[in-house]
Amino acid sequence: MKKNAKKRSFKDSISRAFLSYAMAPLAVLTVAGILAMGIMTASNVVRSNQEYNCSIVELWEDVESLYSRELLEFCSDEQVVACSSLLCRETEIAQRLYDFRADSPVHCRFFWLGAEGEVLAANAGTLPDYLVSPYVSAVSITSKIRENPEAISVSVEYAPDGGDSVFCMGRGICRDGVLQGMLIFETAAEDFCNAFRRINGIEYVITNSYGQALWYSDDAFISAYGKILSELTGRKTRLVSSMDMWMYIRETPVLNSFLKVYTMTEISQYTRVLEAVIVTFGLVFLLLLLFIYLASGIIAARQTRSVSRIVEAMDGISYEKLGIPLELRTGDELEDIAVSYNKMTEDMKQLLARNEEIARQNVLSEMKQLELQLEPHFLYNTLELIRFMTKINPDKVGRVISALGVLLRQSIDMSGSMLTVREEIEFCRNYLLIQKYRFGDKLVYDLEIEERTKKLRIPKRIIQPLVENALKHGGDENGRCRIRVRVFTEAGCLRIRVEDAGSGICEAARQELLHMLAQPKNDSGHTGLYNIHRRVTLMYGASYGIGIENGEEGAVFCVNMPLERGEEDV
């Protein structure tokens, strides 16, 4: 059986309530503080990364817009077209390009070339390799300009010696659709990086549309094939784990997705700060919790001394302690409770004594009434049998009268309520003897008694009512009745089993009988069964009594009782 949990004292309840109500806002504030710091940290990571990413993207867009406007204006100027066709180097026109270079937010180099690549003006001492190399790639800026001279072309040119790549924008100078010259602006990685402010903790990578890294702040994000690491690509923003660290990444396309800007923020430094904040909040929470715990115990002890005495008195109340008064001098309502408690315990003691005596007398009276109940029809039928036998078979009348006398003497015997199994079986034999004379060959019975059970003590009149019930309800369609009585021990219990060879008992009738046996009063016609069950449960408890089931042939009624030995009545 599961043990009852120890009850909590009123003092502990007050202390726990105080502690709970104090802990709730403290815990909420602690969690809210940690969450606020976490949100602020995450927001700072996202905001700083976004601002840095936007500054790079905006710079690219400004460069594209500025270069595009200048290319359109310069290449459409008739004077420029004329000079380009004549390969005339006009200082005034060249000065215009120098002025544009000075106003550009990003340091750039310009190359004003003729149709065949002749240099008309440039701000670099030597031409880059992609302009003088005999081999010209199909994606080179000059190839794109020649293919579509009236459109603005964009290209990334790579140095043959593996140096830094450069960004180029250019346009053809045309007359009547014929290429007369070219204007190309070039921006190197160093020029571009010098145009924006670096932010500690944020790295960048600028790639082409194929993921090829062009410019970057740290080559740790570049694979051996010159591309950005694959785990860093895929979505506009994301949190990824790479190189044993967590990073927040933002990806933004520029120049109509010709380039992509990646900005990476390592969040380990932020998580370290957040961990320090969590530890600080945790220590403060534990210190406050300890203080509140100690304070709640002191406050509860002061406020509940008198209540604790009342609770202890009520918790330890028993029949023996009902006369012990509760002394309390507080001058308030608790003293009134103590006075009422003392009066209540005195009244309870008197009432319990009176009820105990009444209950004892009621149980004894009920037991005697149950023992004395004998089926009236049995007496009438037996007397009628005797009258009939005096005429038909007077020689056997004496045996019937003798058996009836034994039944009557034992029924009205008030000397005790217990018999041995042997005595109870003898009573049952006399009953069956009378019934045998009455029914003749239609009644067959068998008594099987274990030898070791014959001296066991059982309540009187236990077996005979079961046999009488089997005789009433256990006959077959021809009126024949076969009864088997077994008395044996099993699993530490004494079992009295009465079986008949009738048609058995249906489940509805079985449940109805079990329900009737469980009632405190009997309003049905099954007096014998109810009396047995009631007496057994009164003597031994609700776990014992009559069980009802169907056997191999008919119904089976089984009485379960504990083993009881000795010669004294209970």
Comparing 272-286, 445-459, 505-519, which segment has the lowest mean pLDDT? 272-286
* pLDDT recorded at residue 570: 34
Helix axis angle for 10-76 and 305-315, nearest 10°, is 120
pLDDT at residue 17 above 70? Answer: yes
Q: What pLDDT score does 568 carry? A: 38
62 close to 267: Cβ distance less than 8 angstroms:
no
CA 291-297-299 angle, to 5 degrees, is: 95
- For 168-193, the pLDDT digits (tens) are 999 999 988 899 999 999 988 788 87
Q: What is the mean pLDDT of the chain?
A: 80
CB 263, CB 250: distance < 8 Å: yes
Q: Minimum mean pLDDT among 44-48, 377-381, 521-525: which range?
A: 377-381
- How many residues belong to the chain? 570
Please state the CATH superfamily assignment of the domain spanning residues 373-562 in this structure.
Histidine kinase-like ATPase, C-terminal domain (3.30.565.10)
Residue 317: the pLDDT is 65
Q: What is the identity of the amino acid at 395?
A: D
pLDDT-above-90 percentage for the chain: 12
| Winning range, highest mean pLDDT, from 363-377, 402-416, 428-442 | 428-442
pLDDT at residue 366 is higher than 60: no
In angstroms, the Cα distances linking 211 to 125, 206, 246 are 33, 9, 21
Summarize the confidence of residues 119-127 as an average pLDDT.
86
Tell me the range of 256-260, 271-275, 339-343, 400-404 where mean pLDDT is highest: 256-260
> Across the strands, what pairs with 483?
445, 500
Query: What are the domain boundaries of the chain?
Result: 314-368, 373-562
Q: What is the DSSP letter of 477?
A: T
Q: What percent of the chain has pLDDT over 70?
A: 81
pLDDT of 196 > 70? The answer is yes
398-408 pLDDT per residue, tens: 777 877 777 77
pLDDT range class, residue 319, cuts 50, 70, 90 = low
